[in-house]
Structure 1
Amino acid sequence: MPAQIDIKELHWLLDIVQCLDVGVIVLDRAYRIEVWNSFMENHSGLGSDEVQGHNLFELFTEVDEAWFRRKVETVVQLGTRAFSLWEQRPYLLHFKSYQPITGQADFMYQNVTILPLAAMGEIEHVCVMLYDMTDAAMHKLGH
């Protein structure tokens, strides 16, 4: 019998996801946004109510759709995580860099992790996590 999560624990988990200094997006198999945490709201300027149910590629045309679909399909087929480092691809979503002191980057360099989310053995969603790597990129690039 699967473990039951009580409503209090669910609220704690949702609070944690909202407070992470990491972007969290949950997409269904049609690439519609179901979860959009406060990191994503703050950096995109779009609230979760504005993006929920919308297709990622329609809202963010800068996403390399063919590349991203291949990544997600691999995650779904293999049931394992996939990664993209800023050195390979500087960003998934083109966000402004928020470096208050140096301000040397024109955009936020991002590492990306894509996780399969299974319900009843079926992978129906993926979680995309965006990590702001701008400081590390600026240091490595000598800025």
Structure 2
Amino acid sequence: MSNEAEGLADLHWMFDMLHHIDVGLVVLNEKYEVQLWNSFMENHSGVSSSIAKQQSLLSIFPNLDTGWLRQKMDNVFGLKTPIYISWEQRPNLFPFKSYRPITGIANKMYQNVAIRPISSPNGAIKHLCLVVYDVTDIATNKIALSAANDKLKRLTSALSK
């Protein structure tokens, strides 16, 4: 196999992996237009990659808090440093349903989101990547544990009176 064929084969499996990894991957340009939209995003948003590409993320999800999100993304572009959004700060950036509605206790997917700058070969930041992690199980377990601890405190307090 030639070096060029090996390079194309490597590129193919890398794109396949990015498309099918179990986290949401969205690459945006400076106008917030979608450049990459993986299958996680397709499956949970109901918007195919072919429809999402070249559209503004803010038009795909018109109910997002656009002022808040623009500020976050502009900070990533300007400061050239990633930012992280925890489910504890904002339970979900994207309005995805929990995909375990029967066994789970959450209607919506809890998400951690990383917004990372992507540098071009000359070092300029022209794109950013949103990485969306489904942390529903962790969040619901923590919420349930907190509720159980609160109940235990109330019962202990009632018994000590």
TM-score computed with the length of structure 2 as normaliser? 0.82
Structure-to-structure mapping, 1:69-88, within 5 angstroms: 69-88=70-89
User: In 2, Cα distance between the equivalents of 1:44 and 1:134?
Assistant: 16
Q: Which residue of 1 aligns with 2:92?
A: 91
Letter in 1 for 2:66: E
Q: Which moved more, 1:70-79 or 1:25-34?
A: 70-79
Instruction: Report the aligned-residue RMSD.
Output: 1.7
1:61 matched to 2:52? The reply is no
1:106 Cα offset (Å): 1.3
Aligned to 1:105: 106
1:128 matches 2:130: yes
Could you tell me which residue of structure 2 aligns to residue 22 of structure 1? 23
How many aligned positions are there? 140
* Structure of greater relative contact order (alpha carbons < 8 Å, 6+ residues apart): 1
One-letter identity of the residue aligned with 2:13:
W
Rg bigger for which structure? 2
How far off is 1:101 after superposition?
4.3
* CA distance in 1: counterparts of 2:78 and 2:47, whole angstroms: 31
Deviant stretches of 4+, over 6 Å: none
Aligned residue type for 1:80: T
User: Structure 1 length normalisation: TM-score?
Assistant: 0.92
Q: Percent identity?
A: 44
**What is the match of residue 157 of structure 2?**
none
Are the equivalent residues in 1 in contact too, given 2:101–2:107 (CA < 8 A)? no
